[in-house]
Amino acid sequence: MGEAPPDWAESYRAGQTPWDLGAAHPELARRLQDGSLAPPASGGRALVPGAGRGHDALALARRGWTVVALDLVETLADDLAGPLSRSGGRFVAGNALEFEDEPFDLIWDHTFFCAIDPADRARWGQRAGELLRPGAVYAALVFPFGKPAAEGGPPHGMSGDHLAEVLAARLEVVEEAEALRKVPARRWGERFFLARRRPMGLTPTP
């Protein structure tokens, strides 16, 4: 028998949220600071799937992104919806696998991909590709990197290759690097991953 899917709402209700760093991820903070994840000069739309308590979403909003923070757990809106709406963004309670909206310039995925069932990964890859405009980027914190697949989940082990594979129809990997980590560090590795959506009509190189 497979493992029961996580009850995310119950984890938040019970305060059992070991994934929550209590602040924006240091790698995101660094890239917002150095401008490498800055919004376009004309303004940019960022989607944060599996936003949790929204530390990253709020950091993006503070740097000028118009942020849509998306999570299955409705009660997360209590603390997040107000601050996001003040910067033109919003919180959406819903399933990222079914989410539709205007195109985004950035998807920031921090321990979201590892939270979805591996059977749903291809579906998310397609959704993400459709949600990004050509030239837009999918930036992710790849975690837990190096966790043996046999250890199962949740969260499910993953590597940048897993992400690259499901995004391949529309996106090309442009960077994979060691991520700046919080001290004390999480038990498994973390890497930064960046893929860019190809211009319309361009097909992946074989």
Ligand X SMILES: C[S@@+](CC[C@H](N)C(=O)[O-])C[C@H]1O[C@@H](n2cnc3c(N)ncnc32)[C@H](O)[C@@H]1O
Contact 37, 61 (CB under 8 A): no
Q: Which of 44, 50, 89, 153 binds ligand X (CB under 6 A)?
A: 50
Interface stretch with ligand X, choices 38-46, 48-56, 181-189, 192-200 (CB under 6 A): 48-56
Please provide the size of the chain in residues.
206
Least separation in angstroms between residue 130's CB and ligand X is 15
Distance CA 16, CA 203 (A): 43
Interaction between residue 188 and ligand X (CB under 6 A) = no
Contact between 46 and ligand X (CB under 6 A)? no
Give residues 132-161 in contact with ligand X (rule: CB under 6 A): 155
The values of phi and psi at residue 101, to 5°, are -165, 180
Q: Look up residue 112 and give its DSSP letter.
A: S
Strands (E), 17-165: 44-49, 65-71, 90-93, 104-110, 132-145
Q: How far is CA 91 from the centre of its chain?
A: 14
193 near ligand X (CB under 6 A):
no
Question: 49, exposed or middle or buried, with CB in 10 Å at 0-12, 13-18, 19+?
Answer: buried
CB nearer to ligand X: pick between 27 and 176: 27
Residue closer to ligand X (CB basis): 136 or 141: 141
Binding ligand X (rule: CB under 6 A), the pick from 44, 49, 89, 157 is 49
Structural contact between residues 110 and 140, judged by C-beta atoms closer than 8 angstroms: yes
71 contacts ligand X (rule: CB under 6 A): yes
Stretch of 38-46, 77-85, 109-117, 189-197 contacting ligand X, by CB under 6 A = 109-117
Among the listed ranges 81-89, 94-102, 156-164, 189-197, the one in contact with ligand X (CB under 6 A) is 94-102
Of the two residues 130 and 172, which places its CB atom closer to ligand X in the complex? 130
* CB burial of residue 161 (10 Å; 0-12, 13-18, 19+): exposed
CB of 15 to ligand X, least distance (A): 13
For residue 15, give the DSSP letter. Answer: T
- Closest approach of ligand X to the CB of residue 46, in Å: 13
Interface contacts to ligand X, rule CB under 6 A: 8, 19-20, 49-52, 70-73, 95-97, 110-112, 115-116, 155
